[in-house]
Amino acid sequence: MTDDGDVEPHPGPPKGRGRRARSAPRPQRRGIDLRVEALGAETTAARRQRLFADLDAWLAEQGHPPLSSFVSTLPELDGVLKDYGQHMYSNDYAQGDFVETLNAVRARYEHVHGRLRGAWSLVTAWQILEPGGNHAPIPPVLARALTALFLIWQWWELAALVCLGFEAALRPGDLLFRTRRDLRFASETGGLDKCVFVILRHSKTSRMKGARWQHVRVDSIFLIALLWKVFGNRAPDMPLFSFVGTPPQRARRFAELFKAGLAVLEVPSGDKHGYVLSGLRAGGITAFFQQTQDLSLTRWRGRWDSIRTLEHYIQELPMAEHFARLPSRVRVKLARLSSHLPALAQEAELSVPPPLLPRGARR
C-alpha cells in the first residue's frame, strides 16, 4: 500500500538465469515478532491479558503463588485450573472466558499443549450443562434508556460510547481502542452529508481477511451531535474512553460502569441471565435488520464476509424474549426513560457540527 492509499503493483517473480534466484526478505515482515503475534490480534491479546490478571488475582485470594509457579508441575497446574473453572462456573462467568483462559495458558506455555485434560474436561461438562448461546441482544429501548440515564448522571463518555456501540454494532474492544482520530465528521472529510465515519484500524476480521481498515457510517443526528459534544475538541490520539490503566483495567472499568447503569434500571447483568456489553453489537445489528429487512446492507453494516456468520447474529426472537422476561414495571420504566431522550438532548444543547461547505455557498 502506498502513502497515497493506492495499491502497489505486484513486483513479479525474481529474475534470474538457470538456478532460481533467491528473493529478498519481505520488508513488511521486519520488526514483527511471531511469538507475540501468536498470542492473538490486538483485542484477543488484550482479552487474554485481562484473563491472566483475573486468574492471578484469584490465585492470590486463595493464598496461592502466581500461575507461573505451577507451569513446571503439570498435575498441579491442571488441578488449579480445574478449581478456577469451577469458581468461574459457580460465579456466573462466561463459558467462553474459561475456554479463552485455557487457550491463553496454552499459547503462553507451549509445553502444556494437550496435557491439561482435567481442565478441558470441565469445559466439556460445562458445555453439556449449558449448550451455549449468544450474548443477550440489547433491545433499542434499553440502549436508549441507558444513554438517557448516563446523560442524567453526566457520564458523557459512557452515554456516547453505549449509544455508538449499539448504533454502529461495535464490539467492546472496538470501543475501548478507539481514539478521537477514529471519528471522522463531515467537516473533517470534505463531505456535505450529516454523518460521521468510525474508523476501525484493528478490527477482529481485518486482521485475518478483508479490508485492512474498516469503517461504519453513522447517520443518526442525535448520535452525531452527542459524539461532537463529547469528543469534538479532544486531541487526536486521546482515547474515547479516557480511563487510564492497562487494557484489562480499562476493560474491567468499562464493564463496571455499564453494569452500574443496569443495576439502577433493575435490569439483570451477566452472561447467563442478563445483559453484557457484548450485547450492544448483537442488539444493534438485529435492530438494523428489523429496520431495513436487507441482509446485504446488514452484512456491510456489521462487516461480515459471509451471510452465514451474519445470520448467527440476527436474533429477533431472543431479543424479544429476553426483554419479555423483565418485570412489567421495569419495562414501563425503561420505556419512560427512553422517551425522555429528546428532552435530555435539548437540555444538553446538542448540536451537529456544520458540514464543510463548498466555496461561495451560504449557510
State pLDDT tens for residues 84-128: 999 888 776 778 889 899 999 998 898 888 889 999 988 888 776
Strands (E), the chain: 183-185, 196-200, 214-218
User: What mean pLDDT, rounded, does the chain reach?
Assistant: 79
Lowest-pLDDT range of 14-18, 107-111, 271-275: 14-18
Q: Which residue in this structure is represented by grid cell 498470542?
A: 39
- Count other Cβ atoms within 10 Å, centred on residue 248: 18
Q: What is the DSSP string of 232-247?
A: TTS-TTSBSS---S-H
Look at residue 10 and tell me whether its pLDDT is greater than 50. Answer: no
Residues 6+ apart with CB under 8 A from 47: 40, 100, 173, 251
Q: Which residue in this structure is represented by grid cell 437540555?
A: 347
Nearest to 120 by CA among 80, 81, 92: 81
The predicted-structure confidence for 44-91, as pLDDT tens digits, reads as follows 788 888 898 899 999 999 999 999 888 888 899 999 999 999 988 877
Look at residue 357 and tell me whether its pLDDT is greater than 50. Answer: no
Amino acid at 281: R
Residues 6+ apart with CB under 8 A from 84: 55, 58, 59, 98, 101
Q: Which residue in this structure is represented by grid cell 485450573?
A: 81
Secondary structure of residue 186 in the 3-state scheme: helix
Whole-number Å distance between alpha carbons of 28 and 197: 28
What's residue 35's pLDDT?
52
Assign 252 a pLDDT band (cuts: 50, 70, 90).
confident
Read off the C-alpha cell for 199: 474508523
Read off the C-alpha cell for 267: 435490569
Contact 134, 315 (CB under 8 A): yes
Look at residue 360 and tell me whether its pLDDT is greater than 50. Answer: no
Whole-number Å distance between alpha carbons of 196 and 216: 8
Fold of the domain spanning 140-181+222-347: hpI Integrase; Chain A (1.10.443)
Secondary structure of residue 349 in the 3-state scheme: coil
Whole-number Å distance between alpha carbons of 237 and 231: 11
Q: Which residue in this structure is represented by grid cell 487474554?
A: 48
The predicted-structure confidence for 193-240, as pLDDT tens digits, reads as follows 788 889 887 555 444 444 456 788 888 999 999 999 999 999 999 999
Read off the C-alpha cell for 40: 492473538
The predicted-structure confidence for 306-336, as pLDDT tens digits, reads as follows 666 666 667 666 777 888 889 999 999 999 9
Look at residue 245 and tell me whether its pLDDT is greater than 80. Answer: yes
The predicted-structure confidence for 171-202, as pLDDT tens digits, reads as follows 888 888 899 999 999 887 776 678 888 988 75
Assign 26 a pLDDT band (cuts: 50, 70, 90).
very low
Whole-number Å distance between alpha carbons of 63 and 68: 15
Q: What is the DSSP string of 34-49?
A: HHHHTT-SHHHHHHHH
What's residue 60's pLDDT?
92
Whole-number Å distance between alpha carbons of 206 and 214: 7
Contact 113, 106 (CB under 8 A): yes
